[in-house]
A and B are shown apart, each in its own frame.
Chain A
Amino acid sequence: MRRIAVVGGSIAAVTAASWLRVRGFEGTVTLLSAETEQPYTRVPLSKTVLSGEATDASTALPPLDDSVDVRLGTRAVSLNTRARRIVIDNGEPVPYDGLVIATGGRARRLSPPGMAGEKVLRTLADCAALREDLARAHSVLVIGAGLLGMEIASTCRTLGLQVTVVDRDPPLRRVLGPVLAQVITDAAREHGVVLRTVPGGVRLVGSRTLEGVDADGDFLTADVIVSAVGDVPAVDWLTGSGLRLDRGVVTDSRGRVANDIVAAGDAAVVRGVGRRPHWTNAVEQARVAADALLGEDVAGVALPSYFWTNQFGVEVKVAGEPAGLGEPDMVDVDGSSMLLRWSAGAAATVNHTVPVRKLRQLASAT
């Protein structure tokens, strides 16, 4: 293998490119990124960068070294696996011997094409635009009470806006399970957020511009309407490639998709496990996938997954996936801090400092 192409411009792509060099790959590594910015982290975009506390520049990831050819503003539009060739948006073919698919996801939108007014938050540009809108606003309506929607709500409260969050499910329940979700829901209410659950889902109101939503007969609106209703894996460019797509590109436990093709991060769906659209997962999958591409016989990640959220003064760290596990088997409360453990394989802290390594070990100990 002489030439490896990495398609994507964020953490999964950067880690894969770095890891190929760690493993001593000496051929050409070309990174194709649709974004015009150097790779950056999205994690602070709903938090300190949206509030203005941190600058856009502070999100830049440390640069790849010169041995990686980074091509910004370059979108892959199709893939021919037989000819081992990617075609990019200007029509140019990019040949490869090995391919890493790391195209992540883009924000899902509710409004039909052509309707203005629905804001989303996925990229630095989205963040800058939303921040500007919020600076002129008194109120915001957030559609979607998952991690992202609730973080946006929290940041908007620190900016002094009136905040309403609407979702068909109770806040955060699907991703955190009932106990952790309740802790944050209580904190959100204490911080003055209006939370609305509309089991049937909301209906958008507006024609050319989104004016608000119909929530079970109530019309909800605000100066700014932002939706945080999940992301869509960015795998459209793989349509027609023959690779298996199922809400993302399907991989085995080591990121392998097909001969000499691997995938990692938000674009990947691991067979039997699913999608884990979190930062740590993108890093770990990218390493395993790079190893697999080079034919290294390294086992997949053994530790439970890890993610976190900070909102309304509550810092939550989660190892494993407690959402489907119901009530925890152990809860240690000390003032406003908690340590929770599910013997089926998860652990979490709330405002409680435990090294993440230990938290993940605690989650895996049975």
Chain B
Amino acid sequence: MTVSIELIPGRCEGHAVCEAIAPEVFRVDDDGMVQLVPDSDHDDATALAAVRSCPVAALRATS
């Protein structure tokens, strides 16, 4: 992987759109907030599609 993903603090509302696209990268836990799966082995294009799918623009990718 070359992109790394960040959460913009205070924005996630737990809608899990990102998780539905890339469960290997995002996990919405019982507290309803997204967590990044540590050291995930993922496909960059899929992770980017997930980053762009957040309805509250809570995710950011940096390469």
Contact = CB atoms under 8 A, between A and B. Distances in A.
Q: Do A and B come from one complex?
A: yes
Contacts of B25: none
A11 interface: yes
Interface string A281-313: 001100100000000000000010010101000
Interface residues of B, number: 29
Contacts of A64: 52
Contact of A18 (B28, B30, B52, B60): B52
B20 A354 contact: no
Q: Which of B28, B49, B61 has the most CB atoms of chain A within a 10 A radius of its CB?
A: B49
B4 to A, nearest CB: 13
A62 B49 contact: no
A209 B61 CA distance: 47
A292 to B, nearest CB: 16
A139 B33 CA distance: 36
A15 interface: yes
29 contacts: A15-B52, A18-B48, A21-B45, A22-B43, A44-B56, A44-B57, A58-B11, A60-B57, A61-B52, A62-B51, A62-B52, A62-B57, A62-B60, A64-B52, A65-B48, A279-B17, A279-B55, A280-B15, A287-B21, A303-B20, A308-B13, A310-B13, A353-B14, A354-B30, A355-B14, A355-B28, A355-B32, A357-B19, A357-B28
Interface of B: 11, 13-17, 19-21, 28-32, 43, 45-46, 48-49, 51-57, 59-61
